[in-house]
Amino acid sequence: MNRLLVLVRHGQSDWNLKNLFTGWKDPDLTPQGIEEAKAAGRKLRDLKLGFDVAYTSVLTRAQHTLRLILEEIGQTDLPTVRDQALNERDYGELTGLNKDDARARWGEEQVHVWRRSFDVPPPGGESLKNTAERVLPYFDREILPRVMAGERVLVAAHGNSLRALIMQLEGLTGEEIVARELDTGVPIVYRLNEDGSIASKEVLKG
């Protein structure tokens, strides 16, 4: 039984580069982001990891990352499920704003609360708690059963939708998960025990 689950945050996007709140907006990868995605694929290939199914969001940057990874591992025909349940956190009125401009408008402390608290949403947007309430039922219903059945599953998504999954997988509190940084284009390889607990975890950096 494989019970393999690999999570990858998309490569750097154009709005990441410009320090903008991105959320559900749909910029593509930068040249650096393309290279990050290809490098992620090479790391998985070097470990001889293959997959039975992939999941991603409906946003271009995650789909492009997945496509580049699949090219590197020679699985361009892999069955792929796209669902907005895996979308990035919706930043509401912050979406499209430069983070420095947002601090100038609302104050550094308030913006820090919106970015780094677990359950305080920005105006018109989602907190990480709200994001988890969207992501986790989908994960529990659609993705986890396939992992537990022994399938090898690849998920290419976003910083906050992946934080929600990691919070559940690793049994973290809200305060612990908001402090967890996820690098762009770095695969996290989990193998699960029969009870769904983590047998091993490897972060493929460098």
Residues 131 and 29: their CA atoms lie apart, in Å, by 23
Task: Report whether 50 contacts 150 (CB < 8 A).
Answer: no
Task: Report whether 10 contacts 69 (CB < 8 A).
Answer: no
User: Tokens for 76?
Assistant: 């361009």
- For the cut 80, the answer to whether the pLDDT of residue 148 exceeds it is yes
Q: Which residues contact 138 (CB under 8 A, 6 or more apart)?
A: 83, 85, 86
Q: For tokens 């997945």, what's the residue?
A: 66
**Amino acid identity, position 200:** S
Residues 202 and 136: their CA atoms lie apart, in Å, by 22
Domain ranges of the chain: 4-159+167-203
Residues in a beta bridge with 5:
153, 190
Residues 164 and 134: their CA atoms lie apart, in Å, by 9
Claim: this prediction has a pTM higher than 0.85: yes
Q: Give me the pLDDT at residue 103, please.
A: 95
Region 85-105: what's the mean pLDDT? 96
- For the cut 80, the answer to whether the pLDDT of residue 98 exceeds it is yes
Catalytic residue list = 10, 88
Task: Report whether 81 contacts 53 (CB < 8 A).
Answer: yes
Band (13; pLDDT cuts 50, 70, 90): very high
Q: What SS3 state is found at 78?
A: coil
Task: Report whether 1 contacts 148 (CB < 8 A).
Answer: no
Region 101-122: what's the mean pLDDT? 95
A 10 A CB-CB count for 191 gives 17
User: Tokens for 147?
Assistant: 């992992």
- For the cut 90, the answer to whether the pLDDT of residue 206 exceeds it is no
Task: Give the total residue count for the chain.
Answer: 206
- For the cut 90, the answer to whether the pLDDT of residue 2 exceeds it is no
Look up the CATH number of domain 4-159+167-203.
3.40.50.1240
Give the tens place of pLDDT for each residue, 20-35.
Answer: 999 999 999 999 999 9
| DSSP designation for 94 | G
> What is the pLDDT of the chain when averaged over all its residues?
96
The Cα angle at residue 183 between residues 9 and 169, in degrees rounded to 5:
60
